[in-house]
Chain A
Amino acid sequence: TFPNLTYRTGPYAVNGIPYADGYADYMALLNSRDGGIGGEKINYIECETQYNTEKGVECYENTKGEGSLVYQPMSTGITYQLIPKATADGIPLLTMGYGRTSAANGKVFSHIFNYPANYWVGASAVINHILSLNNGNIKGKKIALVYHNSAYGKEPIRTLQELEKKHGFKLSLLPVDHPGQEQKSQWLQIRREKPDYVTMWGWGVMNPTAIQEAANIRFPMENFIGVWWSGSEGDVLPAGNGANGYKSLAMHNTGSDFPIYADLKKHVYDKGLAAGDGTSSGQVLYNRGLYAAMLATEAARLAQKMSGKANISPADMRDAMEAFSINEAQMASLGLPNFAPSFSVSCENHGGPGLAAIQQWDAKAKKWTMISDFIKTDAEVINALIAEDSAAYAAENKIKERCG
């Protein structure tokens, strides 16, 4: 059983729909092409949260009884909710690229996994990219962070502040309140202060508005780098040509040039099993849905192998996720060659490899293209922060470290 907490309505539906489509289509593909995983048919459940915490809890409680193997809530708020609960219930949580970053510390967070990347990795990747553009020296450069004024948006601040000390750039912080339709003040401030780079942690309508405003003040788009949640088609399309050159982080490859799309067409779309109306197919967030589903189902496959049963329990799933590894050959065989980096998980490290790439928007072609490899991030800084934050959590909740 794979529950999926989706949000196809409400203020963040824009982002929620393509992701949910991708996730659902991948599950449908496995069922229709392979008859499930290891002969066991996948029971795929969607539950609508509207990005709302209480609804998320309702969904969790509603579905957990049905033998749910892993939860991917796609919302930092709901993730925070579920961290203690899922741990108590013994169900693993996979929060790829969102949620609580310090959950990468498996010693403290036994049931929480946030591979392959997290926000602090993201923050560091942005700085690394800027470093690479400036031959490694960004002393005195000004970098502004435009962020969603919520737990999610505040995640990168600590890391950026650490990196600020290390590299000597100047960071300025510009919060934007939910929902973020009115950002005149922030962008006038950017216009005045002329930062060299702007990075953004946005979500929902905040993204297209920011990109539109950036285009309006003629901020050089190639110096504007969003996190992976600010880099999908829905964010750049409303700004039209103005968005050309905008960059964002990526944790997987873009486009529909993968063999899996042929299979999807044959086994899912053409059979009328597609979750969406087809417009989302090939979009960044759709691919992310595929990727999320792939990581979950591959872990399940591993769990079947490890436990020797076809019908695995959440505990088996958790053990498999902790022993999880994936490499290029595996991904190629799944129809996703060159899609995402290889990595492996361990008891200590639930956070994956700490790699991220940069993609850029081409407004004419209406396409995202990868412009970098998956680059290594500043593990030194990040790990120290993770250790600190998870230690605080452990102390607060009287958790004894594992893996020792």
Chain B
Amino acid sequence: MPAEFYYGVEVFLNGLMAGVMYSLVALGFVLIFKASGIFNYAQGIMALFAAMTLVGFQEGQIPFAHLINAVFGTEVHHFGWTMPTFLAILFALGMMLLFAFLVERLILKHLVNQEPIILFMATIGLAYFMEGFGDLMWGSNVKRLDVGIPQGGNFWIEENTAFLGGEEFYGFYLDTLDIYATVIAVVLVISLVLFSQYTKTGRALRAVADDHQAALSVGISLRGIWVIVWAIAGFVALVAGIMWGAKSGVQFSLSLIALKALPVLMLGGFTSIPGAIVGGLIIGVGEKMFEFLIGAPLLGGATENWFAYMLALMFLVFRPQGLFGEKIIERV
């Protein structure tokens, strides 16, 4: 086999890994969509906010320090302690729970039974709010996030595959962080599938997504459902935030990974948890392979962004509800 082939395989493998990273973000979208029919534009910002909070707790940052200093002319920045990662994660989770609670209280509660696009708009408002709020609380400078997951090419794999492909090939490159991400994603997906498919709450989630009013009328408490779902989505956002934050620091751009999750979402189907994973894998592999085979050599590169969407679009033309999405009911 020529080295080119193995490089192709390497790109393929890395595509899978990148796909998993997208899936982590897409999962959050799916959860909320499934449970309330809301397309949550704020998911990206939630990931950023969760990561910021985590770092903030870890490093003992004083929240709103900048504002406090500006108002009172003080110079406070840090509490002066650093928190163990585990504890910080717990606190960050608590924060996301509180967040879910407030979202329900202040926004969703008032928008029961509205059309999806209006709920979508509300999440946009939420995203704006969080963007300002997060920066105000933790500052908009770049932060290093370290929860102890190793990063960088995995030596073991690299060395043990170097014999393939002769001189020109030096073993498969796989990022250790991505391998961790894969494991975490698989665990997450399995548990979420179990939750939504086999519990009473899971069924209630799907009922709420279909018809708010009817759900209310049979006694499903929208409030409870929403708090649960947003809290889980917050947790997923935290996981995504940690993985992506470890890659390139915690800063505003972290929220833009949402854009990479959208094609995954539409390919897998907005309502399917396994879809998020499968969609991620297809998108990851598709865009990386396209860039490798066609994009970089023939089109001058940087094709990944649009190709991901085009790929998803092609799938949709054949399955308008995505690969695993619930069939769109068309009846009169």
Contacts and interface: CB of A to CB of B under 8 A. Distances in A.
Direct contact of A and B (CB under 8 A): yes
Interface of A: 8-11, 13-14, 17, 149, 173-177, 179-182, 184-186, 188-189, 191-192, 204-205, 208-209, 212, 215-218, 234, 237-238, 240, 242, 272, 277-280
Contacts of B253: 11, 179-181, 204-205
Please report whether the interface of chain B is mostly helix, strand, loop or mixed according to DSSP. helix
B300 interface: yes
A216 B302 CA distance: 21
Contact of B300 (A175, A176, A272): A175
Contact of B173 (A11, A191, A277): A191
Given A181-B244, A184-B288, A237 B304 contact: no
B34 interface: no
Contacts of A191: 173
A209 B247 contact: yes
Nearest to A191: B173
B232 to A, nearest CB: 24
A13 B65 contact: no
A208 B77 CA distance: 24
B144 interface: yes
B317 to A, nearest CB: 25
Given A208-B142, A237-B144, A237-B249, 19 more contacts: A11-B253, A14-B141, A14-B249, A14-B252, A174-B301, A181-B260, A185-B291, A185-B301, A188-B11, A205-B248, A205-B249, A205-B253, A216-B153, A218-B153, A238-B145, A240-B146, A277-B69, A278-B77, A279-B77
Contacts of B300: 173, 175
A256 to B, nearest CB: 18
A181 B153 contact: no
B73 A272 contact: yes
B interface, how many residues as a size bin? 35 or more
Interface string B77-97: 100000000000000000000
B151 interface: yes
B142 A185 contact: no
B75 A272 contact: yes
A176 B142 contact: no
A13 B151 CA distance: 26
B240 to A, nearest CB: 12
A277 B139 contact: yes
Interface in B135-162: 135, 139-142, 144-146, 151-153
Given A189-B296, A205-B251, A205-B253, A175 B140 contact: no
B152 A216 contact: yes
Given A188-B10, A205-B249, A216 B175 contact: yes
Contacts of B288: 184-185, 188
A302 B317 CA distance: 67
A237 B142 contact: yes
B248 A208 contact: yes
Contacts of A280: 141
Interface of B: 7, 10-11, 14, 17-18, 65-66, 69, 73, 75, 77, 131, 135, 139-142, 144-146, 151-153, 173, 175, 244, 247-249, 251-254, 256-257, 260, 287-288, 291-292, 295-296, 300-302, 304-305
B140 A8 contact: yes
Contacts of A174: 296, 301
Contact of B7 (A184, A192, A218, A237): A192
Contacts of B287: 185
A177 B260 CA distance: 12
Given A9-B135, A13-B251, A14-B251, A279 B141 contact: yes
Nearest to B140: A13
A216 B151 contact: yes
A234 B141 contact: yes
Q: Which of B141, B292, B295, B304 has the most CB of A within 10 A?
A: B141
A208 B10 CA distance: 23
Nearest to B145: A238
A215 B177 CA distance: 13
A204 B249 CA distance: 11
Contacts of B249: 14, 205, 208, 234, 237-238
Nearest to B21: A182
A179 B256 contact: yes
Nearest to B175: A216
A9 B140 contact: yes
Contacts of A180: 253
Contacts of A14: 140-142, 249, 251-252
Contact of B302 (A9, A176, A205, A279): A176
A177 B287 CA distance: 14
A185 B152 contact: no
A78 B239 CA distance: 36
B256 A11 contact: yes
A174 B301 CA distance: 7
Contact of B252 (A10, A234, A272): A10
Contacts of A9: 131, 135, 140, 252
B248 A181 contact: yes
Contacts of A205: 142, 248-249, 251-254
Contacts of B69: 277
Given A173-B301, A212-B151, A185 B247 contact: no
Nearest to B144: A238
A5 B130 CA distance: 24
Nearest to B297: A189
A240 to B, nearest CB: 7
Given A17-B140, A177-B305, A277 B256 contact: no
Closest 4 pairs (CB-CB, A-B): A238-B249, A205-B253, A175-B302, A209-B248
Nearest to A14: B142
11 contacts: A13-B141, A14-B140, A17-B140, A181-B254, A182-B18, A184-B288, A185-B304, A188-B7, A189-B296, A234-B249, A238-B145
